[in-house]
Structure 1
Amino acid sequence: MSKNASALKVKLSSYDELFGAKAPAASDQIVNVTLSELHTFKNHPFHVNDDKEMEELAESIREHGVLIPGIVRPRAEGGYELIAGHRRKHGSELAGKTEMPVIVRDYSDDEATIMMVDSNIQRETILPSEKAKAYALKYEALKHQGKKSGKSTLDQVGEAAGENSKKVQRYIWLSRLSDQMLQMVDEKRLGFSQGVDLSFLSKKSQQIVADAIERSKCTVSMGQSAKLKEYEKKNELTSTVVRLILEEKNVHKRKFTLKMDKLSQYFDDRYSSEEMESIILHLLEEWKKTQEDIQ
């Protein structure tokens, strides 16, 4: 990809990220602000990583400058709070720039939070912990505003990302996990559904479980996370109980066979065994996705 094409890609993705593919309003005033005056949004849940994408962004900024301004609001302590543009600020720093173009808006706390979440939530790669914390922040901001739109607050939270209220609720529950356990979910050492179960544990109990997982290097099944949640409800979750639950093994292995006379209703002689297996696995994967959406 040429440098000009790369810059265009950055420009288009930035428009989509900030304004839903719409350019800034004509009334917006763009000013150049010194990078040292731009401060991170309070409780900003999204990571700014020094990865390949950041390298490409920094290179684009080095050659073309920041194509789309960030969005900020004035701080009582001086300077500005970044609402959208944390990655562009870091890219500008890597590119050796000293200032960055921004649009200054006088947003309330709730308005700024909603804009901050919506401007980041459609990224291609978002960690579960980032999405969980972002949804929790936006949910609280919308509740504070108290505006009625005919949709539930949970539906409004998921609207920008195209997710239903049930999925949003599960992410908000996930946000109650400790940072240590959220990292386990991000690293896929702890499943999403298991993380939701464990979010109902107290911080003390979460620490006991996290320590047990780290110590034994074990994985947690859905059955085990459900048991841990149940013992927590009864105030019976102790270190010993946690250890015993996590040491449980599946004694009975499941064995399942599909008989050819049943499969022949759906596959004729043209399909090989390998083709049949591939189709069945594909359909099961689609079914699994629908189950995750309604959980």
Structure 2
Amino acid sequence: MKANANKRKIFDAVDLLTEDTSVQTTEVKAENGIEQIAIDSIKAFHNHPFHLYEGERLNDMVESIREHGILNPVIVLKTDDGYEMLSGHNRANAAKIAGLSEVPAIIKVGLSKYEAYVYVIETNLMQRSFAELLPSEKAAVMAAHYDKVCCQGKRNDIIRELQILSGIEPEETSCHNGKKLNSLDVIASEYGFSSRNAARYLRLNYLIQPFKNLLDENKIALLAAVDVSYMTKGEQQMLWNIVDRQGLKVKPVYAEKLRKASGDLTEEKMAEILETLQVKHSDGNAGVSFKLPKSICSKYFDGMDSKQMAAVVEQALTAWFEGKKAAVV
């Protein structure tokens, strides 16, 4: 009985965060509180900030699951219509690819949004080092810590539980010299950044997803992404529409100019600014930009990138000039 009690404490250390622990635990239906649940009943964590494994890393996980099964249970939060994944997005994805329909799970009930997010952030950091994360993932981790982490007992208890589950000796958690420092300085020191660079990474969380993806794909510079993050969501979406349609690269000088004009931008004004900057910073070999009415773009170029649009224009002009020449002859 005592052994079971110890295991119960390990799996539900977060339950001790409230006086009424019955509110946060599920009825135990399997040994150690682990249940088999359908993969299809689990939704990804809302606004999950981490990319799923791809390529060789995913293939290795799939083969491991086929050979050994899932060795570590996922952690899910009970919802009205099923479950939300807290820890185990990659395991569940790989298990489904491997042909499994169920996964072993530790089920949580009644967690606050903050407590749930701590599970998502900390379990990813236990599986991968901070240096391995993509820029938008680093930004999400740092933001979570910046908001609420300095010497917060609940976060420390959750981290302790996750360390025990992973077979890691729990660390004592406290702020530097037992004193609460400036939050930004604490975060900067924790991740090896200057305070200025830490602030830049925190700004990345204000980017809309398409620009986060560009950053992770190394298609936009960090400083340019930071400037874009100061634009409103609507302005960012307008910029993305232009970038996606024209195949345009958002250079730091473009982003800086747009940031200064933020608050009074329309898509037309944004296009004018970008066109002016493209001409000004052209190396002499760049193409010539010209405007077309939206009705023409929608009618003839809908869904095309800049190269496809240029090809259509060239074909149309070739046909027009050949027709004009034939008419003269």
CA RMSD of aligned residues (A): 3.5
**Structure 1 pair 159–242 and aligned structure 2 pair: CA distance change class (3 A):** same
**Identity across matched positions, percent:** 28
Read off the aligned partner of 1:27 and give its amino acid letter.
I
**Preserved CA contact (<8 Å) 1:208 1:242:** no
Instruction: Write out per-residue CA displacement over residues 25-83 of structure 1, whole angstroms, 9 at most, x where no aligned residue.
Output: 863234132123333222211122442111111111111111222222332x1543221
Question: Paired residue for 1:225, among 247, 255, 258?
Answer: 255
**Preserved CA contact (<8 Å) 2:8 2:33:** no
Question: CA–CA distance in 2 between the matches of 1:102 and 1:157?
Answer: 32
Give how far 1:194 is off.
Answer: 0.6
Give how far 1:156 is off.
Answer: 5.8
Question: CA–CA distance in 2 between the matches of 1:157 and 1:105?
Answer: 29
- Secondary structure of the residue aligned to 1:55 is helix
What is the aligned residue count?
226
Structure 1 position 112 matched with structure 2 position 116: yes
**Greater helix content:** 2
Question: CA–CA distance in 2 between the matches of 1:220 and 1:243?
Answer: 12
Question: Paired residue for 2:99, among 91, 96, 111?
Answer: 96
**Structure 1 pair 59–212 and aligned structure 2 pair: CA distance change class (3 A):** same
Partner of 1:206: 236
Matches within 5 A, 1:186-265: 186-232=216-262, 235=264, 238-239=269-270, 240-249=272-281
**Structure 1 pair 249–215 and aligned structure 2 pair: CA distance change class (3 A):** farther
Give how far 1:84 is off.
Answer: 0.9
Larger radius of gyration: 2
**Preserved CA contact (<8 Å) 1:114 1:141:** no
Moved >4 Å (runs of 4+)? 137-143, 145-149, 155-165
Give how far 1:251 is off.
Answer: 7.0
- Secondary structure of the residue aligned to 2:206 is coil
Question: Paired residue for 1:61, among 59, 65, 84?
Answer: 65
Partner of 1:73: 77
**Structure 1 pair 247–185 and aligned structure 2 pair: CA distance change class (3 A):** farther
Partner of 2:45: 41
**Preserved CA contact (<8 Å) 1:139 1:154:** yes
What TM-score do the two structures reach when normalised by structure 1? 0.63
Name structure 1 gaps, 5 residues minimum: 1-23, 253-295
Name structure 2 gaps, 5 residues minimum: 1-6, 12-31, 155-173, 285-329
**Structure 1 pair 33–182 and aligned structure 2 pair: CA distance change class (3 A):** same
Read off the aligned partner of 1:244 and give its amino acid letter.
T
**Preserved CA contact (<8 Å) 1:73 1:80:** yes
Give how far 1:167 is off.
Answer: 3.2
Give how far 1:153 is off.
Answer: 3.7
**Preserved CA contact (<8 Å) 2:235 2:265:** no
Partner of 1:181: 211
Structure 1 position 82 matched with structure 2 position 85: yes
Question: CA–CA distance in 2 between the matches of 1:114 and 1:165?
Answer: 23
Question: CA–CA distance in 2 between the matches of 1:115 and 1:158?
Answer: 22
- Secondary structure of the residue aligned to 1:169 is helix
**Structure 1 pair 79–180 and aligned structure 2 pair: CA distance change class (3 A):** closer
Give how far 1:226 is off.
Answer: 2.1
Question: CA–CA distance in 2 between the matches of 1:105 and 1:41?
Answer: 13
Question: CA–CA distance in 2 between the matches of 1:115 and 1:163?
Answer: 24
**Structure 1 pair 114–65 and aligned structure 2 pair: CA distance change class (3 A):** same
Instruction: Write out per-residue CA displacement over residues 127-185 of structure 1, whole angstroms, 9 at most, x where no aligned residue.
Output: 32333344445545559x79995144445656775555543322221222222222222
Give how far 1:105 is off.
Answer: 4.1
More deviation in 158-167 or 110-119? 158-167
Question: CA–CA distance in 2 between the matches of 1:158 and 1:40?
Answer: 30
Give how far 1:196 is off.
Answer: 0.3
**Preserved CA contact (<8 Å) 1:228 1:245:** no
**Preserved CA contact (<8 Å) 1:154 1:165:** yes
Partner of 1:261: none
**Structure 1 pair 243–250 and aligned structure 2 pair: CA distance change class (3 A):** closer
